[in-house]
Amino acid sequence: MTQINPHYQKLQAGYLFPEIGRRVKEFSAQNPQAKVIRLGIGDVVLPLPEAVRSAIKKATDELGDPKTFRGYGPEQGYDFLREAIAQNDFQARGAKIEADEIFVSDGSKCDCGNIQEIFSLDSRVAVVDPVYPVYVDTNVMAGRSGHYQDGRYANFVYMPATAENNFKPAFPKEKVDLIYLCSPANPTGTVLDKKDLEGWVAFAKKHEAIILFDAAYEAFITDDSLPRSIFEIPGAREVAIEFRSFSKTAGFTGTRCAFTAIPKDLFAKNEKGEKVSVHALWHRRHCTKFNGVSYPIQRGAEAVYSAQGKKEVTSLIHYYMENARLILAGLQQTGLQAFGGIHAPYVWLKTPNGMKSWDFFDLLLSKSHVVGTPGAGFGPSGEGYFRLSAFGFRENILEALSRIKNY
Ligand SMILES: *Cc1c(COP(=O)(O)O)cnc(C)c1O
């Protein structure tokens, strides 16, 4: 019989969200009258901006006319979108990224997950703990980890980010090759400032490591002096790759469009110790395994950068960030210690009296009928914490807060 990839059996079977679903279902079956409010999932609720929808419709009509029909597009994305991205997301903020350093894709989850395959299986992986599980699981699948024990995979370097270090992970003490950073961070909702990123760039340079920087939530940064891209930091072009997505920014979670920026100054080495361009490798990989995002969706993404698109996106972000502000203030009023929520749509709270995160989940569900995400599901250092998402309708957020306060 055909053998499977043995590394898949090291994975902790998609535990977090299925387990949340199971507990909510059980609770609802026993309490059919309870109106459960879900603040657990990182998915947007507000509709796609009008500017985006009309661009998608117009592009769809072009495809219905033989004179303007298009088949396969360039694998890396159409120039109109790559140029809009390079100008608006990077050059306008002083980050030197060119259009041909942008790779458009159908999702940042895929990009963050796939990027590891262009690096050696011997690469040592460092992740912040707690973390977006994609970075960890895809490296487990590839075979870079040992077995799972006590909440960790052997061979990975975990960098704790907790209230004790102000959610700023310390540099690894051992040699690492790939460093995954996410800022503003999912799940903690905290952000790295310019000095932090300068430190990481200097660290990566000194130790010849590559930073895989996930900026999926950059649009939620409310203080304009904070970096939105790692490429705002001098020297980052030689040590970093950045992942971005239209998912959370512009409501594209179901529509699918994202991109990765890989500077041409970034090199890794081959077995002989010779320098190889990472951009060229990813280009090769992308052309072989990906055939582009659909034309109407790329036109929709381009419309995010139009004057009307920018206005609409800003108002989406304001809506969620007002939710986040209300959650943070509401929790603090109840005496709970809460973090994040200022530059990210997530609030990360410390469970009261050292309660385990799953126990707090059950308590919140049974007493307030509110669903959140137990911190332990994001890594061992998430134990004792709990995530509430600001992606929800205002009335539900207010109702959830008033129930939490009353309890
Ligand atoms: C939502 C999210 C993404 C974006 O994923 P898409 O596949 O582009 O929808 C990337 N990174 C993190 C940390 C996220 O939470």
What's the pLDDT score for residue 12? 86
3-state secondary structure 218-282: HHHCCCCCCCCCHHHCCCHHHCEEEEEECHHHHCCCCCCCEEEECCCCCEEECCCCCEEEHHHHH
- Same domain, residue pair 178 and 282: yes
Structural domain total, the chain: 2
User: Is the overall model pTM greater than 0.85, yes or no?
Assistant: yes
CB of residue 108 inside a 6 A radius of ligand 1: yes
Please state whether beta strands 178-182 and 210-214 pair in parallel, antiparallel, or not at all (unpaired). parallel
Average pLDDT of the residues in 176-186: 98
CB of residue 248 inside a 6 A radius of ligand 1: yes
- Same domain, residue pair 236 and 132: yes
What's the pLDDT score for residue 407? 81
Determine which residue's CA is closest to atom 15 belonging to ligand 1: 186
CB of residue 186 inside a 6 A radius of ligand 1: yes
Average pLDDT of the residues in 102-113: 98
The enclosing domain of 400 has a CATH number of 3.90.1150.10
- Same domain, residue pair 32 and 80: no
- Same domain, residue pair 84 and 223: yes
58 in a structural domain? no
Domain that holds residue 154: 71-306
- Same domain, residue pair 131 and 174: yes
pLDDT exceeds 90 at position 41? no
- Same domain, residue pair 117 and 262: yes
Residue ending a domain, choose from 256, 287, 306: 306
What's the pLDDT score for residue 16? 86
Question: Among positive and negative, which fits the CA dihedral 319, 324, 325, 327?
Answer: positive
- Same domain, residue pair 357 and 253: no
- Same domain, residue pair 245 and 106: yes
- Same domain, residue pair 24 and 140: no
The enclosing domain of 76 has a CATH number of 3.40.640.10
- Same domain, residue pair 302 and 323: no
Distance 246 CA to ligand 1 centre (A): 9
363 in a structural domain? yes
Q: What is the mean pLDDT of the chain?
A: 97
Average pLDDT of the residues in 323-347: 97
pLDDT tens track for 263-294: 999 999 999 999 999 999 999 999 999 999 99
pLDDT exceeds 80 at position 14? no
292 in a structural domain? yes
pLDDT exceeds 80 at position 399? yes
